[in-house]
Chain A
Amino acid sequence: MAANPMHQFQVYRLGPEIKLGNVDLSFTNASLFMFISALTICIFLYFGSKQKGIIPGRLQLIAELFYNFIAKMISDTAGSKAKPYFPFIFTLFMFVLLCNMIGMLPYSFTVTSHIIVTLVMALFIFIAVTIVGFIKHGLKYLSIFVPKGVPVVLLPLITIIEIISYLSRPVSLSVRLFANMMAGHTMLKVFGSFVISLGLLGGWLPLSFSVALTGLEILVAFLQAYVFAILTCIYLNDALNLHH
């Protein structure tokens, strides 16, 4: 059991089985860790914004840092029109970040290493951005599939290519996060089991790799949350400021 590097991704039920028709709604370890992440964010931001000091305390400083980071990212990539979407992107970033980071703790479960979780988030973004685009521009939004200055002969082919490229957004968004998290955690586990199997004599090299990889994984955990959020901003920018 301990030697299998994929064992850490197993989803199992906690508590009783809950069924609604054909849908299994049981509380699993994945739901538990999503709940922990959301709760951590709420507690952290509650205490971070409680004091409202002119000279911020530690928690307030970190909370303000995150706020500024996301606010700057949105204004840089999507402009001032995207301001109303700040709460959504902030929530998204914090949730993905906390899921990734809590997954780095020993004995925990990485929610974002399951493609169904990331795919649902990516599809939600994709559908929401498409709806926003149609609300803001009406049927003119379809013009993102027809780039300017293309000869009429090539137009059908280009349109199909643009549609495929548009549809590939949720796939690339979800696969990137899922693959990075799963590959990293599998690699950590594999190197960890090398330490055990090589013993006291040869185990030091994989152990040092493990330490280095843990640092790299923390970087990747942050970076993937950042990429997820910034791509949401870029897609939002395409929908809000129609220009091609």
Chain B
Amino acid sequence: MDDNNFKTRLRIAKREILKKDANENNKRGLFLGSAFRLGTELVAAVAVGTIIGFILDNWFDTKPWFIITFFFIGVIAGILNVVRVANNMQKEDK
């Protein structure tokens, strides 16, 4: 019977839903996703660095040296990856 009243109520309800949506649901999912990322991101870079070092060692016959250097470079790259993901998480938090 009160068409105008209903429309206002509908608009308010819609706005509430939108607000809730942006605040909670998406964020939580994103964070869980990011949490799963962090661990493997670190390990993967170390593994890739070590493999590259191993291949270079086999090429140039310099057995332990490239593998050692690239292991540490891989560690640095892994930490860098993790810091980047964490930075993105903080940016989304604001």
Contact = CB atoms under 8 A, between A and B. Distances in A.
A94 interface: no
Interface string A208-235: 0000000000000001101100110000
Contact residues of A: prevailing secondary structure: helix
Contact of B37 (A162, A165, A171, A231): A231
Contact residues of B: prevailing secondary structure: helix
A161 B73 contact: yes
Contacts of A171: 44, 47-48
Interface string B57-80: 000000000000010011011101
B76 A172 contact: no
Given A176-B40, A179-B40, A168 B81 contact: yes
Contacts of B45: 164-165, 168, 172
Contacts of A223: 29, 32-33, 36
B50 to A, nearest CB: 10
A164 B33 contact: no
B43 A175 contact: yes
Contacts of A176: 36-37, 40
Contacts of B44: 168-169, 171-172, 175
A154 B58 CA distance: 27
Contacts of B81: 165, 168, 172
B89 interface: no
Contact of B77 (A76, A168, A175, A226): A168
A160 B30 CA distance: 30
A180 interface: yes
A14 B74 CA distance: 42
Interface in A152-208: 157, 160-162, 164-165, 167-169, 171-172, 175-176, 179-180
A61 B36 CA distance: 29
Contacts of B47: 168, 171
Nearest to B45: A168
Contacts of B48: 164, 167-168, 171
Contacts of A231: 37
B78 A226 contact: no
Nearest to B92: A76
Contacts of A160: 73
Sorted nearest first, the 10 A-B pairs with minimum C-beta distance are A172-B44, A171-B44, A168-B45, A168-B44, A164-B77, A176-B40, A165-B77, A168-B48, A172-B40, A227-B33
Given A157-B73, A168-B78, 16 more contacts: A161-B77, A164-B49, A165-B78, A165-B81, A167-B52, A168-B74, A168-B81, A171-B48, A172-B40, A172-B45, A172-B81, A176-B37, A179-B40, A223-B29, A223-B36, A224-B36
Interface of A: 76, 157, 160-162, 164-165, 167-169, 171-172, 175-176, 179-180, 223-224, 226-227, 230-231
18 contacts: A160-B73, A164-B74, A164-B77, A167-B52, A168-B41, A168-B49, A168-B74, A168-B77, A171-B47, A172-B40, A172-B81, A176-B36, A176-B40, A180-B36, A223-B33, A223-B36, A227-B37, A230-B33
